[in-house]
Amino acid sequence: MRIVTFSRNGQIHHGVRDGDRVRIHPTATSAVDLAMNSGEHPVGEEVALAEVTLLAPVPRPGKVICIGLNYRAHAAEGGNAIPDYPSVFLRGATSLIGPADPIILPDCSDKLDFEAELAIVIGKTATNVQHDPLAYVAGYCCFNDGTIRDYQRKTSQWTAGKNFDGTGAFSVELVTPDELPVGAAGLRITARLNGEIMQDSNTADMVFDAATLITILSEAMTLEPGDVIATGTPAGVGYARTPPVFMREGDRIEIEIEAIGNAANVVARRNGQA
């Protein structure tokens, strides 16, 4: 299923997209609920996609757990060794935006970078998972882990540079695992800046795949329904280029993953400030 969260007539709904139509499941409480319990939620009204306003599939995740240096070529382009254990940091909800929202270029920095990422959305509570970790996945979507690079480098901890307001963008659909290869492996992942391909890789280059990440992370923390794991970015990011390429006001950045979809956002100043 390709599940969407959307507003219509002032109310939030969840449904399944089929082409240019959406089948509303009125009793579903979230996209994750619909993904995990579809048989419990009968189909209601069907409407045109053009009649609704699409939102992020998980508007306010309890946790967004991000993984650094998780593509072999990306680790190499930054001069880093392939990690033996995932580099883990968290994103807060105020850093996230919906699919139609602008990515915010802050006044304090001009080093806003793009990062194409596969996002795993957790479907049921996972603590110290030892068997069948992919059974805990509600679905997958695209994520742009927009980063303020100079603030990321201010300390050994990346939190500040990864949590500027309005820098993390999701694609609109939560794609359930049955639509994809096991663990969303072997999918092309790209980032296009103003139509030019900047990142072009494959999820097969991940150091720690989806199953491994769920196992490792659930050993340290309980993963809850709606939590998101942003699985890292491939080579081609802006800071590693010569000369570096950072996003500017008015730029359009598109993150696309084969069979999942895309997250496309325009870069803007907060409240239109120059």
Model pLDDT, residue 274: 42
Q: Domains of the chain (ranges plus CATH)? A: 2-55 (2.30.30), 64-272 (3.90.850.10)
Model pLDDT, residue 270: 85
What is d(CA 58, CA 117) in angstroms, rounded to the nearest whole number?
16
Rg of the chain's alpha carbons, rounded to an integer? Answer: 18
Model pLDDT, residue 79: 82
Q: What is the pLDDT along the chain (274 residues), one digit of tens a residue?
A: 999 999 999 999 999 999 999 999 999 999 999 999 999 999 999 999 999 999 999 999 999 999 998 998 887 887 878 889 999 999 999 999 999 899 999 999 999 999 999 999 999 999 999 999 999 999 999 999 999 999 999 999 999 999 999 999 999 999 999 999 999 999 999 999 999 999 999 999 999 999 999 999 999 999 999 999 999 999 999 999 999 999 999 999 999 999 999 999 999 998 754 4
Model pLDDT, residue 1: 97
